[in-house]
Structure 1
Amino acid sequence: MWVTKSYNDKFQQEYKIERKLHEVKGERHTLELFTSKAFGEIALLEEGMLLQKMLCVQSEFLAHLLACSHRAPKRVLIAGSFNLEIAFEFLRHQDLCVDFLQFDLKVLESLVSFFPHYKEVMESPRFTLIPQQSKEFLRQNTQENRVSYDIVLLLDSAQQAQDYQPLLEEKGILMIKSPQILLETLEVKRLLESLGDFGVKMPCFAPLSLLQDCYIFASKIYHPTADIQLQRADMLEGLQYYHANLHLSAFVLPKSVKNMLFGVAKN
């Protein structure tokens, strides 16, 4: 049997599975969980797929690339994801607090055995689960008690990045999921154009990622390669994927893509 991850009506990937473990329908999301010889378990959700044995790729890449591009991050918001391993990786950085915006708790709780550090993250005093829908959270944060963040990681492509920009500190970094850079370059260009007055707007991807997920790094101050905190990046221990050279290579694009994004991508 095979399970399929679709990118659009022209491109999809198939992964061999042994059997379906269970299916969970939450308030908005549906989780299908499969077992696979190659990847351990596979979690299939509307917004994408998670491979249990490859969680380190997305989790380490996103958390450490962002945390090591900011001089002194103190607070992070993760929105539009169920991947608690990203929070675990952020928590490796001393004094960094993580807010995790996810209201579909039935689905999240069904992944307790899927994520190796689920319990550790949930019990961390520097982790806060915010069980709200995005609209409710954003509405509350326009009031006087607004919380601001050094890093906002938005992984739900259906959400508008502009809605989260007011939550950023003056030197904050925004990372959003983008269309596939090679297959949908024009869509990436439109997304870059929509990001307004960020001084730095750079597409990137996790090198050698099977899932082909792509992102846009946006900041008014920090540059992800010029401002990389090398000492911090090199001192991280116990990682399987991220390191400083991989961080730098994530922003290297093919010549044709660079030409098409010239004047829109800002680096």
Structure 2
Amino acid sequence: MKTFIYPEMMVHVPMCTHKNPTFVLLATENSDLFGEELGRYRDIHSVVVESGNLLESLRNVADKTLDVAMIDTLSSDSAVLAHINRILKDDALMVIKHPDLDDVSANTNLMQILGNYFKIIMPYHLEDGSTLLLCSKEYHPTADLILQRSDLLEGHQYYNCDIHVAAFAMPQYVRKNYLGIIRN
């Protein structure tokens, strides 16, 4: 597996979708993996918290301070998701790991909880077959893609503006399974 794909897609999809991301939360046990990708952006203030005790870590973050949250762990805990919502600004977005798209019941539960907080909820594919879930209060990941930002990034091995858009293409059976649950 190409280890650069996951961090590039976790970081660059939200960072190239949000109009002006300046405050970013990264919840992970692998901060070095994502730190290099975040380092490609100027004027970004990032907070890294361990994903092992996410609820406790989020309690210390002030309300409505974050533009982007990147959650490198599977969490459908409604308390954790409520805290994430509390710390996100009104136009913020989040990327979170989630169950495989074939696990419709687990994803349905997670997406229904997220639907309380986000206008847009869209899974996107990675080359290894896994998916991430982009949740946005304002920006659409394909309609609001900042092409100039995505094209001017240097040093990545996988991500580009074409991959960004293509990652959101879903086969028909997935669309049918999630009809009324995925919000785009």
Q: Structure 1-normalised TM-score?
A: 0.63
Give the deviation of 1:152 after TM superposition: 0.6
- Residue 205 in structure 1 maps to residue 153 in structure 2: no
- The residue type equivalent to 2:86 in the other structure is P
Do 1:233 and 1:244's aligned partners in 2 also have CA atoms closer than 8 Å?
yes
**Structure 2: runs of 5+ lacking an equivalent:** none
- Residue 260 in structure 1 maps to residue 177 in structure 2: yes
Do 1:177 and 1:216's aligned partners in 2 also have CA atoms closer than 8 Å?
yes
Q: How many correspondences in the alignment?
A: 180
Do 1:63 and 1:87's aligned partners in 2 also have CA atoms closer than 8 Å?
no
What is the rounded CA distance, in whole Å, between the counterparts of 1:263 and 1:67 in structure 2?
Answer: 27
Give the 5 Å matches for 1:21-60. 54-60=2-8
Do 2:10 and 2:132's aligned partners in 1 also have CA atoms closer than 8 Å?
no
What is the rounded CA distance, in whole Å, between the counterparts of 2:117 and 2:22 in structure 1?
Answer: 24
| TM-align CA RMSD | 1.9
Query: Which of 155, 158, 163 is equivalent to 1:238?
Result: 155
- Residue 190 in structure 1 maps to residue 138 in structure 2: no
Number of the residue aligned with 2:11: 63
Do 2:13 and 2:141's aligned partners in 1 also have CA atoms closer than 8 Å?
yes
Percentage of identical aligned residues: 27
What is the rounded CA distance, in whole Å, between the counterparts of 1:255 and 1:168 in structure 2?
Answer: 32
What is the rounded CA distance, in whole Å, between the counterparts of 1:103 and 1:187 in structure 2?
Answer: 20
Do 2:31 and 2:48's aligned partners in 1 also have CA atoms closer than 8 Å?
no
SS of structure 1 residue aligned to 2:118: coil
- The residue type equivalent to 2:27 in the other structure is A
Shift of the 147–166 alpha-carbon distance from structure 1 to 2, 3 Å rule, reads closer
Do 1:63 and 1:86's aligned partners in 2 also have CA atoms closer than 8 Å?
yes
What is the rounded CA distance, in whole Å, between the counterparts of 2:180 and 2:106 in structure 1?
Answer: 15
More strand by proportion, 1 or 2? 1
What is the rounded CA distance, in whole Å, between the counterparts of 1:260 and 1:103 in structure 2?
Answer: 29
Give the deviation of 1:100 after TM superposition: 0.9
What is the rounded CA distance, in whole Å, between the counterparts of 1:176 and 1:137 in structure 2?
Answer: 16
- The residue type equivalent to 2:49 in the other structure is L
Q: Show structure 1 runs of 4+ deviating over 6 A.
A: none
Q: Structure 2-normalised TM-score?
A: 0.89
Do 2:21 and 2:67's aligned partners in 1 also have CA atoms closer than 8 Å?
yes
What is the rounded CA distance, in whole Å, between the counterparts of 2:38 and 2:150 in structure 1?
Answer: 12
Give the deviation of 1:103 after TM superposition: 8.0
Do 2:26 and 2:70's aligned partners in 1 also have CA atoms closer than 8 Å?
yes
Number of the residue aligned with 1:79: 27
Give the deviation of 1:62 after TM superposition: 1.1
What is the rounded CA distance, in whole Å, between the counterparts of 1:146 and 1:230 in structure 2?
Answer: 30
Give the deviation of 1:220 after TM superposition: 1.4
The one-character-per-residue Cα deviations of 1:200-226 (angstroms, maximum 9, x if unpaired) are 1111121x22xx332211111000000
- The residue type equivalent to 1:76 in the other structure is V
**Structure 1: runs of 5+ lacking an equivalent:** 1-50, 105-132
